Amino acid sequence: MVLLRLSPMALSRSRFALSPLAETLGSMIVLGKPCSDPWLARWHGRHHPAFAATLDTDPFAKGLVTLFGSTKWLPEFVAMPPSGGMRTTLTSELEKVARVPDEEVRAGLAKSVSHSWKRHDLSWLDGHEWGARTADLLRRVWDTHISPDWPRRRALLERDVTYRAGLLAAYGWPRALAHMSRRSAWVGTDAIRFGNRPGPDRVVGDEGMLFVPVSVASGTWLCAAPPDKYAQVYPARGYAATTDRSRPHHALEQLIGTGRAAILRALEHPATSSELAAHLNRSLGTIGGHLGVLRDADLIAGTRVGRRVVYRRTESGDLLAGQRES
């Protein structure tokens, strides 16, 4: 198994980040396959036909998507750590992808083929400027299938970061990383186990490790940039809950009102008032008023984390919200 070893300096500087590139890559892989996740069925059904039609007219794009969806190794020219923290832009990331020389692209794809559970060849790798062509494909996927939904997705990702940052402040990195990935775990006091494949240990540089949530991928992958920069991409908590809104919750709504019921359900995962406003598409003032009533009723509680107040359900709130599941 691969261990990512962190010095005390690297540990203190590790942090969370967002990557529109990782979000696009994960979404592209999901769109390239039949839908296996019920909570993605609606989005997949809307976008898959157009995406499949695009692949049918572009052998290069189809080869990339098919390979990325059937390998345990995503090449480093697309799996790179974001450089802008929580403000990373897709344009800045795709500029780096576009500059990757052809020989590096081919080497990365060949390694992906060697780690695939399907048979592949690279006969579709014709012409040149493969980095630029990959960046163009990712841009088209973003513009067509992700950008309209990005504000909601970003709010979801920020909620996950807020939740884990609270765990980090209270309990340290091992608790913050718990359940981030089925194959990743904290080992001892200075290392993270990544995956179960054999390989040499890697040493994280003094800038620290990045942890990057994405909203649609069910898997996780490691991003690397020479000589010692690493980021772990992982599925954010709560995506299924935010996309499956088909079940009725009339009893809870009749009891405490539609707006407050929506907030209580949304606080299945702790969030700030701003995150709730973005998630529920309500004004900050409306959210604040409802939060005050719910807090006075001892259904939620707020905890200050830095400059933000993170709200969570109390035991009474959990009990009340849980009654709607019966």
- Domains in the chain (CATH in brackets) are 2-235 (no CATH), 247-325 (1.10.10.10)
Enter the tokens of residue 88.
Answer: 């990373």
pLDDT on residue 326: 35
pLDDT on residue 68: 97
pLDDT along the chain (326 residues), means of 10: 90 95 96 83 91 96 96 95 96 98 97 95 94 98 95 87 83 81 79 79 94 85 93 79 47 83 86 87 91 92 84 86 52
Average pLDDT, rounded, for the chain:
88
CA–CA gap between residue 119 and residue 109 (Å, rounded): 13
pLDDT on residue 45: 92
pLDDT on residue 177: 82
Peptide bond into 227 cis (omega under 30): yes
pLDDT digits (tens, 9 = 90+) for 139-158: 999 999 999 999 889 988 98
Nearest partner of 122 among 108, 139, 110, 134, judged by Cα: 110
Looking up tokens 């599941």, which residue turns up?
A: 325
CA–CA gap between residue 96 and residue 48 (Å, rounded): 27
Q: What single letter denotes the amino acid at residue 98?
A: A
DSSP string, 60-129: HHHHHHHHHTTBS---TTTS---SSGGG--HHHHHHHHHTS-HHHHHHHHHHHHHTBSS----TT--SS-
With beta carbons less than 8 A apart as the criterion, state whether 288 and 326 touch. no
CA-atom Rg of the chain in angstroms: 21
Q: 3-class SS at 3?
A: strand
pLDDT on residue 250: 64
pLDDT on residue 61: 97
pLDDT on residue 163: 82
pLDDT on residue 325: 40
pLDDT digits (tens, 9 = 90+) for 106-136: 999 999 999 999 999 999 999 999 999 999 9
